[in-house]
Chain A
Amino acid sequence: MTRTVTANGFTLDDAGQRVVVDPICRIEGHLRIEVNVDETNTITNAVSTGNMWRGLEIILKGRDPRDAWAFTERICGVCTGVHALVSCRAVEDALGIDIPPNANSIRNLMMLAQYTQDHLVHFYHLHALDWVDVVSALNADPKATSELQQAISPWPKSSPGYFRDVQNRIKRFVESGQLGPFANAYWGSPAYKLPPEANLMAVTHYLEALDFQKEIVKIHTIFGGRNPHPNWLVGGMPCSINVNETGAVGAVNMAWLNQVSDIINNSITFVDQVYIPDLKAIASFYKDWTYGGGLSSKNVMAYGEFPAIANDYTNDSWMLPNGAILNGDLSTVYDVDPRDPGQIQEFVAHSWYEYPDPDAGLHPFDGVTEPRFELGPNAKGTKTNIEALDEGAKYSWLKAPRWQGNAMEVGPLARYLVAYARGQEDIKEQVDGLLAALELPVTALFSTLGRTAARGLECSWTAHKMRDVFDGMMANIKLGDVATANMQSWEPETWPADTKGVGIGEAPRGALGHWIHIKGGKLENYQAIVPTTWNASPRDPAGNIGAYEAALLGTPMADPAQPLEILRTIHSFDPCLACASHVISPDGQELASVKIR
């Protein structure tokens, strides 16, 4: 090239200076971003590269399907549990197992708790420092910070003395000269817009949220025995309920249920009194930073999550609906069918894998993958010292999943747009309320900040939804139903000889699907397509660029040597690369390898 228009309507130009950011930090896993900028330092081309591959799906071949949740749970420890849940759904689908209502409620509670904790940690610990200048907080007036805090929230930790103490702690930390995780960053950049008081408030909540997040996941500890990586069970949940009989102390009993209830209340309070007010306050200073929309105003997709009715994974049941929007037409929402071989396909023309037909797309039931690591002719550097990639050739360990041939954005913003377009009242009310408070039009959602705002709104929604689900479960227990597992099809002798299943859902980062094939009681094939594979995908044979690549285009950088704007937009997707790159290999053949010295 130098200048081209992609199949999905974005203009690319690689004539200007190439900027490489590797590693992208404050994410899960290993990601590389390369961009070209023009003479005004505006991004004109973007290249997203998944930097790792683990081959988990080949490892699953031949295993007991009942064990698969534990293997797939280790795809990701940040969104822990989401793969385990979807894996259980896939096996239950293949074997025709219905889970009891209490198991459905407990799974929903665990998934809702995961969303709440994950979104909170993302906002404060992975994303906030793109907007919040830690060093500027040293110049804040604690009294003015206190007034700001009290003006926006009833959160009780708001006295001038409290903020003075935190400020002193930061000051002494900075003066020590050992800046730890805050060293060598972009403090003082003109891209930071918050006044010192807002910075101090946000840094204070960075610390508070770090302490609080560990409380939310105790819901996992009660029902799943621990967090990260709680336990699940094909057929239901392993935690029995006993509220009134001998031995209740050895099961989920009233004391633990009360603790869950308290955690829910505290989570609602923290999210509504700290996270949401901070989000609004920070966003109000960045209203003119309207970049990063990318695919969000065109193509978004969600599979659906939180089944209100046990074993019903359709829009009759999903509390957040399934659907796809194409070309920004909110008046038509398509149903996404994970079983339809024509809808979801993966391509590898620009991925480090090989297909028999290099330009074909394959549905995950037919997925094949053979790793083939090679750099294109225009790459700079060597195989083991890459200076710049050639995006005209293969350039990522991620495949390129497409829905009916289209690159799709997934995640909180996609879920909210699908729910909004489906006319779901609770979501519309939240979205319209936030836009009114910030005096912004609906189109403001199609941006980096829109993505970040949707995640915050969703965190509040999930915290409150925990209350509804918990109350529903208690009502069911009151009726005398304490069952948590259906073990009728537990023994492999009861299974069909050859069967396939699909498990879908929504991880905090977006649409997640597992496709399995069980033959002779063992896993014959296992495929997962995960949110970050959709969002961070490389180009496809038709030339469509992925969501990360699209979102970076047109963004002006204050200083190309400081990748703050790139971090903002990439972080708004909450990347998870360990999830994204674990596709199957045909066998474990030894390839070229390095020597152990």
Chain B
Amino acid sequence: MLADRETFYDVMRRHGITRRSFLKFCTLTAAGLGLGPEFAAKIAHALETKPRTPVIWLHGLECTCCTESFIRSGNPLAGDVVLSMISLDYDDTLMAAAGHQAEELLEQTIEKYDGRYILACEGNPPLNEDGMYCIQGGRPYVEKLRHMADHCKAIIAWGSCASWGCVQAARPNPTRATPIHKVILDKPVVKVPGCPPIAEVMTGVITYMIAFDRLPELDRQGRPKMFYSQRLHDKCYRRPHFDAGQFVERFDDEGARKGYCLYKVGCKGPTTYNACSTLEWNGGLSWPVKSGHGCLGCAEDNFWDKGSFYSAVTNFGVMGGAEATADRIGGILAGAAAVGVAAHAAGSVVSHMRRGKAEEASHD
């Protein structure tokens, strides 16, 4: 039927969008994903030949900041994503139906698109009390999650709740809130951490999956490399102040008014992998460091239990060969051995960059 065949390009044309505008959109999308102009044609081809992919968006224990972030996306607009790029067949935060009319849509999607829809998970399931710390339709949320995961193509774990557990999983995790990849073991999970993730990272990831019909390349922890392979510190515009030993000692001191480095007041930029210092937030307007507060490290696993947000990542001296120190600290604090290796690699690449020998800090 029509619903199975209509492509994204058809929808764009139906909306009165010219082929010229469509191709321009593809070029912008390619640029937005950090891809070269040659990819614009591939995106265009993909969008011309694929039906709108159904997306089921579930909510477990969470605060809905991921949904709120998603609708802040400027390029593309969230409205265009929802109405024209994907088919958002279930999302209890936005959908018009309720009760059994809403729940029927889940079964309809399984019937029509078995194995072909994307399952987008915001929040996580609690496992204590037979799962009844999060009830939906009189049943534990974890049942709904498993049922929908059984029939999906792939899972996007939106935000730090779905990716790591986040605030309700912070010590002592009273409900045993559990990230998606520890409950669903037999489907690919793309983690898009952050509390919340950046809007354009969210739309960028889902647009990539729709456009190329494949998962983005992931790092060892399951995060898309395109957005999570560099530390904030490496691309921070305040990095020169770090290198020069110019620090904010207390909030609102002279250094703060001059935009000095926030390392000493607790910035977690040296140990946080995310795109804030490059893409920035809300249309590239600012990001936490640019507005004077250190990074909380909200895209990192278990960031709530790593000490105060106002403790410097170490008491190590930061004058002199400071960047090497911070890089090494990054490696140690990242925890797991594999991550440590990656962080060390990143550190050495940065050193190369500093000597002008490398353009890009990629690492595996």
Contact, CB under 8 Å: B167 / A71? yes
Contact, CB under 8 Å: A134 / B96? yes
User: Complex formed: what's the CA distance from A55 to B168 in Å?
Assistant: 7
Identify which of residues 542-597 in chain A touch chain B, using a CB-to-CB cut-off of 8 Å: 562-563, 567, 578, 585, 587-588, 590-594, 596-597
Chain B residues whose CB sits within 8 angstroms of the CB of A139 once the complex forms = none
Chain B residues whose CB sits within 8 angstroms of the CB of A55 once the complex forms = 168, 174-175
Chain B residues whose CB sits within 8 angstroms of the CB of A28 once the complex forms = 63-64, 93
Size of the chain B interface, CB-CB below 8 angstroms: 114
> What would be 16 A-B contacts, judged by CB atoms less than 8 Å apart?
A21-B99, A22-B137, A25-B98, A26-B96, A28-B64, A52-B135, A77-B64, A134-B96, A168-B16, A176-B11, A180-B87, A227-B281, A238-B293, A252-B292, A578-B61, A591-B128
A427 to chain B, nearest CB (A): 28
Contact, CB under 8 Å: B68 / A228? yes
Contact, CB under 8 Å: A77 / B308? no
> Residues 6-26 of chain B: 1 if any A CB is under 8 Å from the residue's CB, otherwise 0?
100001001110000000000
Chain B minimum-CB-distance residue to A170: B83
Of A10-18, A239-247, A267-275, A322-330, the one contacting chain B is: A239-247
Contact, CB under 8 Å: B128 / A183? no
Of A287-295, A382-390, A405-413, A414-422, the one contacting chain B is: A382-390
Closest 7 CB pairs of A and B: A250-B259, A77-B65, A247-B258, A588-B172, A55-B174, A386-B138, A225-B288
Contact of A59 among B105, B132, B174, B291 (CB under 8 A): B174
A213 an interface residue at 8 Å Cβ cutoff? yes
Contact, CB under 8 Å: A386 / B135? yes
Contact, CB under 8 Å: B128 / A590? yes
B187 an interface residue at 8 Å Cβ cutoff? no
B5 to chain A, nearest CB (A): 10
B93 to chain A, nearest CB (A): 7
Contact, CB under 8 Å: A594 / B281? no
A285 an interface residue at 8 Å Cβ cutoff? no
A23 an interface residue at 8 Å Cβ cutoff? yes
Contact of B96 among A182, A249, A252 (CB under 8 A): A182
User: Complex formed: what's the CA distance from A27 to B99 in Å?
Assistant: 13
A173 an interface residue at 8 Å Cβ cutoff? yes
Given A184-B105, A485-B251, check contact A226 B288 (CB 8 Å).
yes
A60 to chain B, nearest CB (A): 9
Contact, CB under 8 Å: B77 / A585? no
A539 to chain B, nearest CB (A): 19
A45 an interface residue at 8 Å Cβ cutoff? no
B88 an interface residue at 8 Å Cβ cutoff? yes
B94 an interface residue at 8 Å Cβ cutoff? yes
A311 an interface residue at 8 Å Cβ cutoff? no
Chain B residues whose CB sits within 8 angstroms of the CB of A125 once the complex forms = 94
Contact, CB under 8 Å: B11 / A222? no
B337 an interface residue at 8 Å Cβ cutoff? no
State the majority secondary structure of interface residues on A.
Answer: loop
> Residues 250-279 of chain B: 1 if any A CB is under 8 Å from the residue's CB, otherwise 0?
111100111110000000000000001000
Contact, CB under 8 Å: A180 / B138? no
Residues in B lying within 8 Å of A, measured CB to CB: 1-3, 6, 11, 14-16, 52, 54, 59, 61-69, 71-74, 77-79, 82-83, 86-89, 91-99, 101-105, 108, 126-143, 146, 166-168, 170-178, 182-183, 185, 195-196, 199, 238, 250-253, 256-260, 276, 281-283, 285-293, 296, 298, 304, 308-310
A305 to chain B, nearest CB (A): 21
User: Complex formed: what's the CA distance from A217 to B196 in Å?
Assistant: 15
Contact, CB under 8 Å: A74 / B77? no
B284 to chain A, nearest CB (A): 10
Given A247-B257, A594-B140, check contact A58 B174 (CB 8 Å).
yes
A435 an interface residue at 8 Å Cβ cutoff? no
Contact of B290 among A176, A214, A225, A562 (CB under 8 A): A225
User: Complex formed: what's the CA distance from A511 to B257 in Å?
Assistant: 35
Contact, CB under 8 Å: A23 / B98? yes
Chain B residues whose CB sits within 8 angstroms of the CB of A177 once the complex forms = 1-3, 6
Chain B residues whose CB sits within 8 angstroms of the CB of A250 once the complex forms = 238, 257-260, 290
User: Complex formed: what's the CA distance from A332 to B291 in Å?
Assistant: 45
Contact of B166 among A74, A178, A210, A585 (CB under 8 A): A74
User: Complex formed: what's the CA distance from A211 to B69 in Å?
Assistant: 13
Chain A minimum-CB-distance residue to B61: A54
Chain B minimum-CB-distance residue to A117: B68
